[in-house]
Amino acid sequence: MPETSAPRLLGPAEVRELAARLDVRPTKQRGQNFVIDANTVRRIVRESGVAEGEVVLEVGPGLGSLTLALLEVGAEVTAVEIDPVLAAELPATIATFAPHQAERFRVVLADALSVTEIPGPPPQALVANLPYNVSVPVLLHLMALLPSLEHGLVMVQAEVADRLAAPPGSKTYGVPSAKAAWFADVRRAGAIGRNVFWPAPNVDSGLVAWTHREPPTDQVSREEVFAVIDAAFAHRRKALRGVLRTLAGGAEQAEAALRTAGIDPLTRGEALGIDEFVAIAVALHEAAAVPRGSA
């Protein structure tokens, strides 16, 4: 690193002192659980693979624990924070604990779930302790919004981590797994205990790492494929012929599209990967383009 003085990271005393001074009380509504262990944020940054000079998007920086660890490895950090009190304080915290890295930090007061642009240079990585109550929608929204993202690592509820990284056919495979696979190759990257947070959550946490992949098709839109995924898992124990009938315009049309896609109409959605969902969407799209009764 070019800086001669590394950032000081936040520990339990610093986190509680900052929270008390700001009169911040972590809320379940915003999924706020602040990391108080320096080794944990260093581990997150290490597992993320973020390199010196990379532009990193962080969501929900809170009091700045993970932010400081990202700055420590030489990253440039854009932090999106929904809480105006926390967002206003972050620059001062960075100036105090990482004065030599402060020029590589910017904060954006916004809701990551509805943000439409990220100021500054396009981020190459997403590293975040995501609010548990909106973790999947936020992750999918940012993957769709920012094609510049090449890789990332997020900390989420352990159960959600399992779902995001689940392969087709497994018990935890579902909508999050299938949709995330449109954007990236996803894997489970470890577990995080409850005692590294303040306040301690009632659930365990997991790390999910991902690497960007190009969209699996340009024949149909992402929205068309996601509509098939949503329909397939609306009644996950039912055969695709039945659950896709509304989308296809009838059970016979659904069966015809499935056969065109090379899929047994009695298959369940939980058995299919992203490429199979794409094939179904393409078949439905092509069938819709042919007028009824045409040869």
Q: For residues 129 and 256, give the distance between their C-alpha atoms in angstroms, rounded to a whole number.
A: 44
**62 contacts 40 by C-beta, under 8 angstroms:** no
CB 248 within 8 A of CB 260: no
- Is 33 labeled as ligand-binding? yes
Cβ–Cβ < 8 Å for 179, 140: yes
Q: What share of the chain is helix, strand, coil (3-state, %, to 5)?
A: 45, 15, 40
d(CA 176, CA 160): 8
| Distance from C-alpha of 99 to C-alpha of 95, rounded to nearest angstrom | 4
Is 60 flagged in the annotation as binding? Answer: yes
For 98, other C-beta atoms within 10 Å of its C-beta total 25
* 3 annotated to bind ligand: no
Q: Are 208 and 132 in contact (CB under 8 A)?
A: no
To the question of whether residue 190 is assigned a binding role by annotation, the answer is no
| Annotated binding-site members | 33, 35, 60, 81, 111, 129
| Annotated binding-site members for S-adenosyl-L-methionine | 33, 35, 60, 81, 111, 129
